[in-house]
Amino acid sequence: MNLDLTVRMGGLDFRTPLLTGSGTFGYGDEFLNLIDYKALGGLVTKSISVRNRPGNPPPRICETPGGGVINSIGLANPGVDAFIESKSAILPLNLTRVFLSVFGETVEEFVTVVEKLETISGVDGYELNLSCPNVKSGGISLGGDSAAVGEIVRETRAVTQKFIAVKLTPHQTQVAILAEAAVKAGADALTMTNTLVGMMVDAETRKPLLGTVTGGYSGPPLKPVALAKVWQAAKAVDAPIWASGGIVNGIDCIEFLLAGATGLQLGSVLFADPYAPARIISEMEAYCVRHGVNRLADLVGALQ
Amino acid sequence: MNRPVAEIGQVTATKQISSGLWDIEVYSPKIAVQTRAGQFAHVRINDSFNPFLRRPLSIGPIQDGKLRLIFAIRGEGTRLLSQKKPGDAIDLIGPLGGVFEIPDDDSALVFLTGGIGVVPLLLLDDQLPKRRERVFILGVRSVDSIPVTLDEAEKRHIRWSSDDGSVGFHGNSVQLLENVLNGLGSRKARVIGCGPGKMLAGMKRLCQEMKIPASASLEVPMGCGVGACQSCAVPRTDGKGYLLVCKDGPIFDCNDVVIEPEVLP
C-alpha cells in the first residue's frame, strides 16, 4: 500500500503533516545532519521580535515528574534586522516549507516585524506567537483578548499575502471566541496550543528550579490539554488546526488528527529524539496499514 | 568543526567507583574517532520519555572506540543510567561542544577538578603530548566519594584534596591550587578547571588576583545540546546577554562569563 501523507492547508501543499514547534528547532540549521527533512512538511522558527532579546536569567529548563519539561527561554533572539542579516541565509528553504515565528509586545511590533521579514524570498509564511508564557508584556496578556488577537491578525494580514498561522494560549477557556476572532481576521491556520504556565520547587534548597520561577510546561503530560484545545478549535472554525502539545510518537499524531488537527507540531520531543520525524512517519504508516487507511488526511476530524 | 553524529553505542563495562559514582564504558566508534578533550555526549536514558531530557556527559578517556563516561547519581536519569549492563544499547549524540584550546607555549598547566569534573581532564591528560608539564588536582569531599580509583589517580600523578582530609591535602581544592601556583614561582602558568560552581568561582577569583589565564568547563541544565533551544545559557560578564554552554562552550575563558554558584549548580 502506498500511503498518501500529503495535506493541503491555506492553499499550500505539505508533503507530510509534520512541522517543528517554534523554539525547539532554532532556525533550522542546528539539527542539519541529525534530522530527516523528508519527513517534515515544514518548520517553524524560533520567534523573531522587533529588537534583540537576550532571554531570561538561567536556569532556563527543568524536568518534571511524569516526563514533562518546563522552559523559560524568554524569546531570546537577535531581533528582526540582525536576523535578516545573519540568519535568514541559513534557513533550509530548499529542504522544507519554512514559517517564521513572529513575536511583538504591541500590534505595531507584529506588523513591523512581518513587514521587514517580507523582504526574505522563499519563506512560506508566518506563525504569530500570541501566547508566550515567559515574557512580561505581549504574550499571554495580549493573546487572551479576542479583540487584540483579531486586530493583530487583521493588521498583519494587511501587509502580507503569505500564510499566517496564529499560536494561541491554552489559558483561555473560551477557545472558540479566540479561534473565531483569528480566522475572521484572516488567519490561515491556528496552532493549538502553546505551553502551560508551570513551576518546580527544590524542597532541599527551597529555591525554584527556574531563574524566572515560572515557565512553560510541555512534553507528554500536556497532551490531554492540547487535544481538548484542538478539538474545541476545530469545532469552532473551518481553518486547519496545527496541533502542538506532547506529541512523541505516531499514535499521538493519529489522536490529534482524529480530534481535528491537520498539521502536527513536534516540539520538545526533538530535544530527546532528533530523529522523531522519520520515526513518527513510520509509526503513522504502521497505524494506517493496520486500519486500512490510504490517505492520512482522511483521519482529520474522524473522531467517532 | 566536526559535525555531531547520532550513534547507538553498546555498554561494554560498568563499575561503581564509590558511593553514588559510576564509570561506564560505551563502544561508540563513530563518536570516539572524532572526540577531542572537552567535548560531551548527549545521552538518552531510555526510550520512554520519562525522564524526558538527555543527559550531557563529558567524554572521558577513549580506547579502541570505547568512551568512558563517569557520572554521579543526582536524580532519576543518572540512577537509571547506572543500571545499564554490558550489552545494553545506549543512544548518544556527539561529540558536542568545543575543545580545550591549549596554546603550544612553555606555560605549566594546572588542572583544577572537583568530583566528576575530573572527566574531561582525564581525556586531556591522555591527548596532551607527554612532555607538556602539568599538575593535576582533584578535589573530593572524602575518600568515600572519589570519581576515579586511587590506582588510576596514582598512575596519572593526580594530587588529591579532600574536605575531611581522608585523602591527600586536607582542605578545599582552591587552597591546594593556590599552594601549587605559589610553588611555580615565576613560571608562566595556565589553569583549566571543571567542577562545582563554588570551586570554579574560587578558581576564577584566585586566578584574576594572580593574573593567571584560566578557563573553565561549565555544566548547566541543558535541552537539545545543539544550540537550538537556548536553555543552557550563562551570563556574559560584559552584560551583553548570554552564551550557550552547548554551542559556545562548554569551555569558556573565565573572563568572558559570570562564574558564580548561583548560576552554576
Residue A263 CB partners (closer than 8 Å, separation 6+): A7, A9, A14, A17, A18, A19, A41, A42, A189, A191, A240, A241, A242, A243
Closest A-chain CA to B222: A61
Over residues A14-43, the mean pLDDT reads: 89
* Residue ranges of domains in chain A: 7-49+79-196+225-299
Residue B259 CB partners (closer than 8 Å, separation 6+): B197, B200, B201, B204, B216, B218
End-to-end CA gap in chain A: 25
Inter-chain CB proximity B49 and A67 less than 8 Å? yes
Contact A96, A236 (CB under 8 A): no
**A7-49+79-196+225-299 CATH:** 3.20.20.70
User: Is the bond preceding A54 in cis, omega lying within 30 degrees of 0?
Assistant: no
C-alpha cell at A287: 497505524
Assess whether B246 and B183 both reside in one domain: yes
For residue B54, the domain's CATH number is 2.40.30.10
Of the pLDDT bands very low, low, confident and very high (cuts 50, 70, 90), residue A67 is very high
Instruction: Give A97's strand partners.
Output: A42
Assess whether B238 and B201 both reside in one domain: yes
Please report residues of B whose CB lies closer than 8 A to that of A219. 49, 52
**SS3 call for A13:** strand
Number of domains comprising chain B: 2
Phi/psi of residue B180, each to 5°? -65, -45
Distance separating alpha carbons of residues B67 and A17, to the nearest angstrom: 39
CA angle A6, A39, A83 (to 5 degrees): 105
Residue type for position A295: R
pLDDT at A143: 78
Return the number of CB contacts < 8 Å for A and B: 112
Q: Does A133 have pLDDT greater than 90?
A: no
Touching check for A179 and chain B: CB below 8 Å?
A: no
Give pLDDT tens digits for A5-15. Answer: 999 999 999 99
Q: What is the 3-state secondary structure (H, E, C) of B121-180?
A: HHHHHHHCCCCCCEEEEEEECCHHHCCCCHHHHHHCCEEEEECCCCCCEECCHHHHHHHH
Distance separating alpha carbons of residues A62 and B231, to the nearest angstrom: 9
Distance separating alpha carbons of residues A38 and A15, to the nearest angstrom: 8
Distance separating alpha carbons of residues A182 and A166, to the nearest angstrom: 7
Q: Does A1 have pLDDT greater than 60?
A: no
Residue A42 CB partners (closer than 8 Å, separation 6+): A14, A19, A20, A96, A97, A98, A99, A124, A263
Task: Indicate whether B161 belongs to any domain.
Answer: yes
Assess whether B154 and B25 both reside in one domain: no
Residue that is last in its domain, among B63, B96, B129: B96
Inter-chain CB proximity A272 and B221 less than 8 Å? no
CA angle B135, B137, B140 (to 5 degrees): 170
Task: Indicate whether B102 belongs to any domain.
Answer: no
pLDDT at A160: 97
Of the pLDDT bands very low, low, confident and very high (cuts 50, 70, 90), residue A179 is very high
Q: Does A89 have pLDDT greater than 80?
A: yes
pLDDT at A139: 67
Please report residues of A whose CB lies closer than 8 A to that of B229. 23-24, 26, 61, 71, 73, 271
Residue that is last in its domain, among B65, B96, B127: B96
Contact B169, B175 (CB under 8 A): yes
pLDDT at A33: 74
Give pLDDT tens digits for B135-188. Answer: 999 999 999 999 999 999 999 999 999 999 999 999 999 999 999 999 998 899
The neighbour count for residue B227, using CB atoms within 10 Å, is 18
Closest A-chain CA to B224: A271
Instruction: Look at phi and psi of residue B204 and say left if phi exceeds 0, alpha if psi is from -120 to 50, else beta.
Output: alpha
pLDDT at B225: 94
Q: Does A20 have pLDDT greater than 90?
A: yes
Interface-testing mutation among B224, B248, B252, with chain A (most A C-beta atoms within 10 A): B224
* DSSP H or E stretch at residue A285: helix A276-291
* DSSP H or E stretch at residue B90: strand B89-96
pLDDT at B245: 97
Q: Residue B196 gets which letter from DSSP?
A: -
* DSSP H or E stretch at residue A284: helix A276-291
Assess whether B15 and B36 both reside in one domain: yes
Which active-site residues of A does the annotation give? 132
Give pLDDT tens digits for A245-268. Answer: 999 999 999 999 999 999 999 999
The neighbour count for residue A95, using CB atoms within 10 Å, is 14
**SS3 call for A93:** coil
Residue A292 CB partners (closer than 8 Å, separation 6+): none
Please report residues of B whose CB lies closer than 8 A to that of A67. 48-52
Closest listed residue to residue A210, CA positions, set A60, A67, A110: A60
In chain B, which residues have pLDDT < 50? none
pLDDT at B2: 59
Residue that is last in its domain, among B96, B122, B153: B96
Of the pLDDT bands very low, low, confident and very high (cuts 50, 70, 90), residue A138 is low
> Helices (H), strands (E): how many in chain B?
6, 16
Assess whether B117 and B189 both reside in one domain: yes
Assess whether B57 and B135 both reside in one domain: no
Of B52, B228, B263, the CB nearest to A272: B52
Assess whether B121 and B227 both reside in one domain: yes
pLDDT at B261: 82
Contact B204, B254 (CB under 8 A): yes
Distance separating alpha carbons of residues A108 and A49, to the nearest angstrom: 11
Average pLDDT, chain A: 93
> What ipTM was reported for this prediction?
0.93
Q: What share of chain B is helix, strand, coil (3-state, %, to 5)?
A: 25, 35, 45
Q: Does A286 have pLDDT greater than 90?
A: yes
Of A59, A63, A270, the CB nearest to B224: A270
Q: Which percentage of chain A shows pLDDT scores above 70?
A: 96
Assess whether B91 and B131 both reside in one domain: no
The domain in which residue B200 lies consists of 108-253
For residue B113, the domain's CATH number is 3.40.50.80
